[in-house]
Chain A
Amino acid sequence: MMPWLDAVQTSALAQAIGNSRWATAVLSSLHLVGFTLLMGSTLISNLRLLGAVLPDRPIDEVTRPAARAAWIALALSAATGSLLFVPRASGAVANPTFQLKMLLLATAVGVQALALPRVAHSPLQPAAARVTGAAGLVLWLGLALAGCAFILFE
């Protein structure tokens, strides 16, 4: 398809990972550990924005530690995810489930990085906080479902 994808997929790194069942298994395990932490962090953050958990606490008391954990978790998920991507680059890019997964990831990270800090610091905008929380919840859960679909139907 695209020449750079072929280059990625035929690299020494791709061959090393692609030929090792154990490397793939360990990377997948760490990917899921990172993703569980990422989902847990975005989940309590968005549930707080919706007012569903700890509604009596200030929003940023919940969203601040959650955001810190989410960025660490995203780094682990992205690093292991990239290594898993390398040996199957062209197949993954052509896969609609993978395309959906990346689209949801980009949108969810965008909401997390741009909208969330704004509503977290303005307690006078409960409606905006709720909309951001609902959007975040749908995007991250959608990403999890797309991720499941990708590993199961690849």
Chain B
Amino acid sequence: MLDLCHWLETTAVGIVVRESLYGFPILVGLHIMGLIVSVGVVLWFDLRLLGLALTGVPPSGVYRRLMPWAAAGFVLMAITGGLLFVGYASTAYENVFFRIKLAAMLLAALNAVVYHRVTQRSGDTWDAPSHMPAGARVAGAASLLLWTIVIVSGRMMAYTMY
């Protein structure tokens, strides 16, 4: 795995990310903007699942209206994050906060899949009321917790990667 990381750093993309004067700050800036938009919007769907906000709208309605904005942020975050990783792959791979961040992201993705495959399938019986079933509330709380861990560990990387 570490060999793969070293190879990534020697690719043309890796060298450009690492050595261009403004490449790194621009990528980090866009990465944070993508994070703010995606997580900032997703958290309102999580709050809806918890029954804490927008309770007048069915969760599926909130999802449909908000997800295009969150998806745009996610795409920006994934592209810039991927490019940053290529430039600093081996240092990132050996960084404990990068590993925590990756694990939290995988769990957040798993949480979303479980919500859509299992919890939402029984949605027609509870889509309207403001009192949410336990499964939906757990999914919302897990998403909020996991994305907070992603943000914190991502910011910690800036202080621990050299």
B5: Cβ under 8 A from any A Cβ: no
Say which residue of B40, B62, B159, B160 sits within 8 Å of A37 (CB atoms): B40
Task: Give the chain B neighbours of A39 by CB distance below 8 A.
Answer: 36-37, 40
A65→B43 CA distance, assembly (Å):
12
Interface residue count on the B side (C-beta < 8 Å): 34
Binary interface encoding of chain A residues 19-37 relative to chain B, with 1 for a CB under 8 A from any of its CBs, else 0 = 0011011101110110111
Task: Give the chain A neighbours of B47 by CB distance below 8 A.
Answer: 65, 69
B96: Cβ under 8 A from any A Cβ: no
Number of A-B contacts (CB under 8 A): 95
Q: Are A37 and B29 in touch, CB under 8 angstroms?
A: no
Please choose the segment from A3-11, A54-62, A105-113 that sits at the chain B interface, where 4 or more of its residues have CB less than 8 A away.
Answer: A54-62
Q: Are B29 and A54 in touch, CB under 8 angstroms?
A: no
A47: Cβ under 8 A from any B Cβ: yes
Task: Give the chain B neighbours of A28 by CB distance below 8 A.
Answer: 155, 158-159
Q: Given A32-B155, A40-B36, A149-B29, answer yes or no on A61-B56 (Cβ-Cβ < 8 Å).
A: yes
B71: Cβ under 8 A from any A Cβ: no
Least Cβ distance of B22 to chain A in Å? 10
Task: Give the chain A neighbours of B69 by CB distance below 8 A.
Answer: 43, 47, 53
Task: Give the chain B neighbours of A152 by CB distance below 8 A.
Answer: 24-25, 28-29
A127: Cβ under 8 A from any B Cβ: no
Q: B residues within 8 Å of A by Cβ?
A: 24-25, 28-29, 32-33, 35-37, 39-41, 43-44, 47, 52-54, 56-57, 61-62, 65-66, 69, 148, 151-152, 154-156, 158-160
Q: A residues within 8 Å of B by Cβ?
A: 21-22, 24-26, 28-30, 32-33, 35-37, 39-41, 43-44, 47, 53-54, 57, 61-62, 65-66, 69, 141, 144-145, 148-149, 151-153
Would you list 26 pairs from A and B whose C-beta atoms are within 8 A, ordered by A residue?
A21-B159, A24-B159, A25-B155, A25-B156, A26-B156, A28-B158, A32-B152, A32-B154, A35-B36, A36-B43, A40-B36, A40-B41, A44-B66, A47-B69, A53-B69, A54-B62, A57-B54, A57-B57, A61-B54, A141-B33, A144-B36, A145-B33, A148-B33, A152-B24, A152-B28, A153-B25
